[in-house]
Structure 1
Amino acid sequence: MRKLLKSIKAWRKKRRSEAVKSAFGEKLEVLAGPFAGMKYHFESHGSSIVPKLVGVYEEPIAGWVAEIPQKQYDRIVDVGAAEGYYTVGFAYKNMARVVHGFDISEEARKMLERLAALNNVRDKVTVNGLCDAGKLQELAGKGALVFCDAEGAELELLNPAVVPSLLQTDMIVETHDFLKPGITNTLIERFRLTHRIEVMSDSERQWAKYSWPAMFNDRMKRGWSNEGRPKGMLWLRMLAIHSA
């Protein structure tokens, strides 16, 4: 049974790659958004590749991402890096001296390494497994941005009682209240005295302003743009007051 499931997974992956090739061509690159021009491969981890290629992926926080270079960070810590859309994108756009990508999936880490090599930024990127409190304490602090999409683990990880260097760290966090109710309010309470906090809610993407392959009709564009996210997703941008 395990071999059969593995074969089915491989077959589906091949079919997806063939469909993406057919729509976007043999050489992929991000067409718009904060990482426009970044080369891409025919694989993704945990999310669809199409919104990333079009540039509509996580559109509500695209403005925050575009403002990152203004802060001149020494390092960015990407927790939940998946195949590297943000980790490699940050390095590709020179948004920090070094970008540390963390993901617990070995498959995702291999994809990340391939994407970094494809964009010639392997020397600016470190690829890591689990990001625990000790590692985060070491990497966070002044000059750092923590970019976190940890599927609910942000509740335990982003705790200044355990990781005190976070009190001097800028953060952009996708919160997952649908997995663990109350995460957003808990994080706001933890950092309200030390950070300027903004909340961004998910919204329908402005899909019509992007360039799409000819095979996508309006219904397909709208469907792919919404990324299959649960309703009510939120992001937090928390800027340490020390950097004001």
Structure 2
Amino acid sequence: MKMYKSKKDKKESLKDFFNNKIYFGPFTGLKVPDALYKILTVSEILGMYESCLHPLFSQLFNRKIKNIVLVGGNNGYYSAGLNYLYNPEKIVIYEMVQELHSTISSWFETNNLSNYEILGEATVDGFKNWKEKTDLLLIDCEGFEVQLLNPIEFEWQKKTDVIVELHPFYVDRLLNIIAERFSETHEIEIIYDDFSEDDKIDKILKGLNLNIDYSHHPNHRWIKENGKKIFTSGLFMFLKRKTL
């Protein structure tokens, strides 16, 4: 069995083992564009990334998700994954870094997915003027969620399921602020990072006889505070719209 040691070798080995497809989780079978192996994490390639959300994605199958808005498209993992999973009538993706738009598009082209639109930065004015029906809103925007989540200011959010990665290191009392805003219209669930995710990834890699030592959590989550690198853990909130 070939031994894989460098980061490049690790990812290339996974590419070969899974024939360019995500191996595990709700996005199983989604093809990974060749050019993205150099920027994706091992957990994304395996399909284990933020596995704490996997049960939630299963639950949403019962919510008739047909129109999706995603704020923070980043490398396209969730953009393509949600499209692949729910086959929505349309998914609108906000990503303020223009250079990442082609990266996001590469997923859709590789997997022959359609009905998507990529826009620039999500803004308060844009959300105020939003008129399209939205079944699911997924947000990861490094603290700006406190500006974009408000069902009083953005009426359409009252009828929208919301998944948001919260960044309380940026905004004091953030959980309480968001929960209070949505308490009348939504059921609220807090979801925490699964700290056994690394063990599960390591088990998969060892099961495939790949000599890859995987022990990374949570060094992919950090912010700069007063010039210092501060590690954080993942914290999510599911705002489930109430049915009358």
Instruction: Say whether the fold is shared (TM-score over 0.5).
Output: yes
Please say if residues 51 and 57 of structure 1, whose CA atoms lie closer than 8 Å, have aligned partners that are also in contact: yes
**1:181 pairs with one of 149, 172, 184:** 172
CA distance in structure 1 between the partners assigned to 2:198 and 2:7 by the alignment:
21
User: Is 2:50 the counterpart of 1:58?
Assistant: yes
Q: Which moved more, 1:71-80 or 1:155-164?
A: 155-164
CA distance in structure 2 between the partners assigned to 1:77 and 1:180 by the alignment:
23
- Counterpart position of 2:72: 80
CA distance in structure 2 between the partners assigned to 1:104 and 1:52 by the alignment:
22
TM-score (norm 1): 0.80
Q: What displacement does 1:65 show?
A: 1.4
Once the two structures are superposed, the pairs formed by residues 150-229 of structure 1 within 5 Å of their partners are 150-210=141-201, 211-212=204-205, 214-217=209-212, 220-223=213-216, 226=218, 228-229=220-221
CA distance in structure 2 between the partners assigned to 1:40 and 1:137 by the alignment:
35
- Counterpart position of 1:120: 112
Deviations 1:172-211 (A, max 9, x none): 1000011222222210111111110000112313444453
- Note closer, same or farther for the CA distance 1:208–1:19 as it changes in structure 2 (3 Å cut): closer
Q: What displacement does 1:141 show?
A: 7.3
Q: What displacement does 1:105 show?
A: 0.7
Please say if residues 50 and 194 of structure 2, whose CA atoms lie closer than 8 Å, have aligned partners that are also in contact: no
- Counterpart position of 1:238: 239
Please say if residues 14 and 45 of structure 2, whose CA atoms lie closer than 8 Å, have aligned partners that are also in contact: no
Deviations 1:122-162 (A, max 9, x none): x2211111122343345577651101111111011112343
Please say if residues 138 and 162 of structure 2, whose CA atoms lie closer than 8 Å, have aligned partners that are also in contact: yes
Q: For residue 196 of structure 2, what is the amino acid of its counterpart?
A: R
TM-score (norm 2): 0.80
- Note closer, same or farther for the CA distance 1:108–1:87 as it changes in structure 2 (3 Å cut): same
Question: Secondary structure at 1:40's aligned position in 2?
Answer: coil
- Note closer, same or farther for the CA distance 1:48–1:205 as it changes in structure 2 (3 Å cut): farther
CA distance in structure 2 between the partners assigned to 1:136 and 1:44 by the alignment:
34
Q: Which ranges in structure 1 are unaligned for 5 or more consecutive residues? A: 1-14
CA distance in structure 2 between the partners assigned to 1:103 and 1:44 by the alignment:
20
Q: For residue 153 of structure 1, what is the amino acid of its counterpart?
A: F
Structure (1 or 2) with the greater helix fraction: 1
- Counterpart position of 2:224: none
Q: For residue 46 of structure 2, what is the amino acid of its counterpart?
A: V
- Note closer, same or farther for the CA distance 1:143–1:156 as it changes in structure 2 (3 Å cut): closer
Please say if residues 20 and 32 of structure 2, whose CA atoms lie closer than 8 Å, have aligned partners that are also in contact: yes
- Note closer, same or farther for the CA distance 1:81–1:31 as it changes in structure 2 (3 Å cut): same
Give identity over the alignment, percent: 23
Please say if residues 26 and 54 of structure 2, whose CA atoms lie closer than 8 Å, have aligned partners that are also in contact: yes
- Counterpart position of 1:11: none
CA distance in structure 2 between the partners assigned to 1:16 and 1:59 by the alignment:
22
**1:37 pairs with one of 7, 29, 40:** 29
CA distance in structure 1 between the partners assigned to 2:111 and 2:36 by the alignment:
15
Once the two structures are superposed, the pairs formed by residues 7-156 of structure 1 within 5 Å of their partners are 20-25=11-16, 27-41=19-33, 42-43=35-36, 48-121=40-113, 123-137=114-128, 139=130, 143-156=134-147
Q: Which ranges in structure 2 are unaligned for 5 or more consecutive residues? A: 1-5, 222-230
- Counterpart position of 1:9: none
Deviations 1:205-235 (A, max 9, x none): 3444453254344xx3232x54622334310
- Counterpart position of 2:228: none
Q: How many residue pairs are counted as aligned between the two chains?
A: 224
